[in-house]
Amino acid sequence: MLEAHAPEPRSDAGADSEHESDREFGQAARGAESLLSRQADRSTDTEFFSPMPEGYRRGRHKYVAVFGTVMSGLGKGIFASSVAKLLKDKGLVVAPIKLEGYLNIDAGTLNPFRHGEVFVLDDGTECDMDLGTYERLLDQDLSRMNFMTSGQVFSTIVDRERHGAYLGRDVQWIPHVTGEVKRRLRELAMYGDGERPADVVFVEVGGTVGDYENGFYIEALRELAFEEGEDSVCFVALTYIIKPQTLGEQKSKAAQLGIKRLMEAGIQPHMIACRATDPITEPVRQKIAMFSNVPLRRVFSMHDRPSVYTIPDDMRLAGLDREILSTLDLHDRVDTSIEDRRRREWAVFHDGLVRPKKRRVAIGLTGKYVAMRDAYASIDKAIEHCSAHLGVDVDLRWIETTDITPANAGARLEGLDGVIVPGGFGSRGVEGKIACVRHCRERGVPYLGICLGFQVAVIEYARNVLGLKGAGSSEFDRRCADAVISELPEQKKIEGLGGTMRLGGQEVVISPGTLAEFLYGLPMPGNHAGLAAPGADGALHARERFRHRYEVDPEYVARLEAAGLVFSGRHPAQPIMQVLELPQVSEGATGGSGHPYFIAAQFHPELTSRPARPQPLFMGLVAATAVRKHGPADAHSALAQWSRVRNGQVQAV
């Protein structure tokens, strides 16, 4: 036991403060003594340690756990989100979660070259790109509860140990680490979609079976199935069927060994999804079924398809949704009326996706991470959503900006009907992006800037229109003559990279009579709710997601506007510019000329695009490129609806 010893008396001037400090120590020591006494009375005979959230009902919630074998990057998130969509379409409440093995607390500091896109949720969580797949397919906003890392788990456990939560026990991988994982999964089940508890929690285990860093997740899920009881957990193994070029036929041995590794961990899969370039042959399916103890009807060919959005329908045709309902005993929770309605709604998007398209445009994605396509996954999907709704085939071309200069920009961007300059951090490739902006502005090429693409548009305009040759950003050059992009005064008082980041969903007030108002004011396909609604001030208020640190310096705003730049979206209370644009044809531009489509956003519009609710800024870009290249569309078509400039005239909002 700890004992508090009284200090020797002192006669110096600091005696009072010393006594106060000693009293505090004595109180802390007595508190620790009491804590130890309480823990000593606890029984440590049981080896069970599985924290249950208050109010949790065992058997009420079901779980589907997806594991990857053979190698990573097979598409566990695509499989899980597709099945989750099928169950949600049947009226069930679903809640997905991604379990990451790395020790980072979140994905915010990960390099896109190593881990792909950092997806930002509405609550500001920086997470894995798979959560973007879940949000898009489920049309459901997620939160920090839908993302777990080893770093989060270990931080929580160490913090609890320091506060005495485990006194009397040595803190171990089993049961304490696995117990923390199970606690979080059960809390998510109770939280559900934020409005109702989940019928089914979809658990995606990152990495590959056999990795050191995800072993405790696999063990936790084995324990979860044991504790929840029969018909409560469905295990799915995603594997890879190789086809060596020298042999020219599919081989299943690697898949068999990968599934065997999962079974050695105590997990018997209920279903197998086989990734491959081509459809899985029947002999291979039979081998996989025989060696994994899985019925043949539950071995699914998840081969390459033109679009991931065709996978849910293929799964339904294969009967996977019914198999999972049977495994989890959930048939009685299906609402057929909801399913019929949602299938009709999805069919509109699906049919538009696969239908042959008469118009084709080329849009350049000019970024610094194009060697890693996953770094811009949400932009790629946002374009795909627009393509389906507008009936335009978009050839997205990936262009590295590091070696683009003012001298070769025209040649590098030749043949493009539109340009997107995406976000990014650091100075590499920035001057190339500025050269792209100038090319689009001066030659009338439709342009969409995102985050850094917004900032370089301001820099280019300040340099080449306003005449500030030394214009730049304090992010790249602290001593630049005119830092038109900088940290706001209140941000500069906060130290540390995380302290000054603007993260997550925030309001954008749209100025009336602008291109931004036209786009955000249009109804979504199928009368789905859009991203903007009128505010108390009468203006449109949109909610978009941010991930940046630097802003347009307010000292330059008036001068930029006087030179013709339009800031059409602003923060509701702060002098923060959030959308910019150039006047369009016949909008008061000199000589009746103007730009067909030039708009940029400080936020990331790609993060809020959904198949049924395509993002307005992307819809406007694709429509503008198609009309500029192919001429006016039929007046009643979606393409005409999203084209603000028709026959040389700007349409009213």
The string of pLDDT tens digits covering residues 395-430 is 999 999 999 999 999 999 999 999 999 998 888 889
330 & 277 share domain? yes
d(CA 420, CA 413): 11
Residue 451 designated active-site: yes
368 and 322 within one domain: no
Among 13-17, 227-231, 520-524, 628-632, the least confident range? 13-17
pLDDT of residue 13: 45
**Within a domain: residue 5?**
no
Residue for token digits 């295990």? 235
Are 436 and 482 in a shared domain? yes
Report whether pLDDT(178) > 50: yes
pTM: predicted TM-score of the whole model, two decimal places: 0.89
Same domain, 509 and 622: yes
pLDDT digits (tens, 9 = 90+) for 123-159: 999 999 999 999 999 999 999 999 999 999 999 999 9
Q: Which of 386, 436, 451, 480 is catalytic?
A: 451
Domain co-membership, 271 together with 389 = no
Asked if the structure places residue 119 within a domain, the reply is yes
CATH number for the domain that contains residue 97: 3.40.50.300
**Among 296, 318, 349, which residue terminates a domain?**
349
Q: Is there a domain that residue 4 lies in?
A: no
Q: Is residue 79 part of a domain?
A: yes
Q: Is the pLDDT of residue 266 over 90?
A: yes
Sheet with strand 482-486: strands edge to edge: 471-473, 482-486, 551-552
What pLDDT, in 10s, does the model give residues 522-540? 988 866 767 788 888 889 9
> Considering the chain, what percentage of its residues have pLDDT values greater than 90?
74
Pair (320, 422) in one structural domain: no
The verdict on 323 and 448 lying in the same domain is no
Tokens of 589: 């531009």
CA distances from 32 to 36, 38, 170, 435 (A): 6, 10, 17, 64
Q: Is residue 366 within 8 Å of residue 420, measured between CB atoms?
A: yes
Residue 282 shares a structural domain with residue 393: no
CATH number of domain containing 588: 3.40.50.880
Instruction: Tell me which of 325, 349, 373 is where a domain ends.
Output: 349
The values of phi and psi at residue 406, to 5°, are: -55, -30
Q: What is the pLDDT of residues 297-326, one digit of tens each?
A: 999 999 999 999 999 999 999 999 999 999
| Per-state percent for the chain, helix, strand, coil, to nearest 5 | 40, 20, 40
Statement to judge: residues 264 and 401 lie in one domain:
no
- CA dist 499 → 490, 496, 511 (Å): 11, 5, 29
The residue among 349, 376, 400 that closes a domain is: 349
User: Does residue 155 fall inside a structural domain?
Assistant: yes
Give the contacts of 396 (CB within 8 A, at least 6 positions apart).
363, 365, 380, 383
Residues 555 and 606 in one domain: yes
Asked if residue 16 is part of any domain, the answer here is no
The count of structural domains within the chain is 2
* Structural domain range at position 455: 356-650
Same domain, 91 and 187: yes
pLDDT of residue 592: 44
Regarding whether 382 and 343 lie in a shared domain, the answer is no
Instruction: Indicate whether 40 belongs to any domain.
Output: no
Higher pLDDT, 373 or 387: 387
327 within domain boundaries: yes
Per-residue confidence (pLDDT) for residue 127, from 0 to 100: 95
